[in-house]
Amino acid sequence: MPWRVGIDENGLGPQLGPLVVTAVMAEVGEAAERKLAAGGKAFLHERLDDSKALVDCHDVALGEAWARAICARAGAEPREPRALLEALSLRSIEHLQARCPPEARRQCWGDEGEALVATDAQVQQAVRDLRTLGRRGIDVVWVRSQVVCVRELNLARRAGIGRFHSDLHAMEELVLAAREHAGHDAWFVCGKVGGLRSYVPAFARLGDRLHSILEEQQARSVYRFPGIGTVSFVRDADGEDPLVALASLVGKYVRELTMKRIVRHYRRVEPSLDDASGYNDPVTGRFVRATKQIRDREAIPDECFRREQSKDGG
């Protein structure tokens, strides 16, 4: 099976900012496929691993460098973050913005003052790393991110769809998009979604398709879909599979780009605000409290700011 796709999420548990699910696809040679089947750690290195080990909310240059390098291989060289996000997003920016109440749009989509942060040296190193992967039989050709905003997560929750299922449904969308792009069946490796072991009852787009269950274990669940390929959910895949690791790194960049827009929006009014990560930490808790009057004054809906199931990080 020459096509392989790694899929991973970023931002499943924060209070603020979107959930981002990213897919990276490569054409894989037979020898590389055998190595990946035996465990992909041989392809990992100090610039390609689980994003949690390599980047954080204050420095996502490495994730941006990988994103720009993959886009360059596809013939696109965005010169600003907005253009890079457009190139990465599964759905157009116009489509994403169309979901926003007018009052909230400026909170999430203001891009004034943004700039690319990765150096030319970092991007060129990522380009060389992609070439090295290609020589070793993993030719990366495609990347897309699905951005699920706070409002979308809150509306889904009210409809009885929790964050884990929203994560899974975004993965399904990326599976189908990658299959369409490839034009062939593929092997999909996804990070495990929560504690799920049996995925079929939770599927939204794949559940009604003909399939066979190949394996359902705590650490790994695998399904075969004729006309799509083999879809697996693997625990700690971002530290084991190079394409999942790439998806994690690119997704981290997208997640932090969107989160920084939120912080920057409120800093225009109150410059002393801390650089909140959006996660369940004291800084984010203070940020939530300190922005309350601004949000009230600007009539920004709570459902567009904070995930309803989250607790105050302060």
User: Is 154 part of any domain?
Assistant: yes
Q: What is the DSSP letter of 56?
A: B
Q: Which two tokens stand for residue 85?
A: 């996000």
Q: Is residue 77 a part of any domain in this protein?
A: yes
- What is the number of other CB atoms lying within 10 angstroms of the CB of residue 40? 22
Q: Which of 103, 77, 108, 62 is nearest to 249 (CA)?
A: 62
Residue 281 falls inside a structural domain: no
- Residue 205: left if φ>0, alpha if ψ -120 to 50, beta else—which one? alpha
Distance CA 119, CA 61 (A): 8
Q: What is the pLDDT of residue 16?
A: 97
What integer pLDDT is reported at residue 136 of this predicted model?
92
226 domain-assigned: yes
> What's the pLDDT score for residue 1?
57
- Is residue 229 within 8 A of residue 179, CB to CB? The reply is yes
Identify the burial level of 21 via C-beta atoms within 10 angstroms of its C-beta, where 0-12 means exposed, 13-18 middle and 19 or more buried.
buried
Return the pLDDT at 239: 86
71 and 268 Cβ atoms separated by less than 8 Å: no
Sheet containing 3-10: give its strands across: 138-148, 19-28, 3-10, 186-191, 229-234, 220-225, 212-216
Query: Is residue 304 assigned to a domain?
Result: no
**Which two structure tokens, joined as six digits, stand for 309?**
């199931």
Sign of the dihedral through C-alpha 169, 170, 175, 180 = positive
CA neighbours within 13 Å on the CB side: how many for 164? Answer: 9
Q: Indicate whether this model's pTM tops 0.85.
A: yes
- Residue 265 lies inside a defined structural domain of this protein: no
CATH of residue 100's domain is 3.30.420
Containing structural domain, residue 38 = 3-260
Query: How far apart, in Å, are the Cα atoms of 93 and each of 19, 89, 146, 156, 176?
Result: 16, 7, 11, 21, 20
Q: For residue 20, how many C-alpha atoms fall within 13 Å in the half-sphere facing its CB? A: 25
End-to-end CA distance of the chain: 49
For tokens 């490495």, name the residue: 62
Whether 200 is covered by a domain: the verdict is: yes
Tell me what pLDDT residue 313 has: 36
pLDDT along the chain (314 residues), means of 10: 92 96 96 86 78 75 95 89 96 91 92 92 94 94 97 96 96 98 96 91 94 95 97 92 94 96 96 94 96 96 88 37
The structural domain count of the chain equals 1
80 domain-assigned: yes
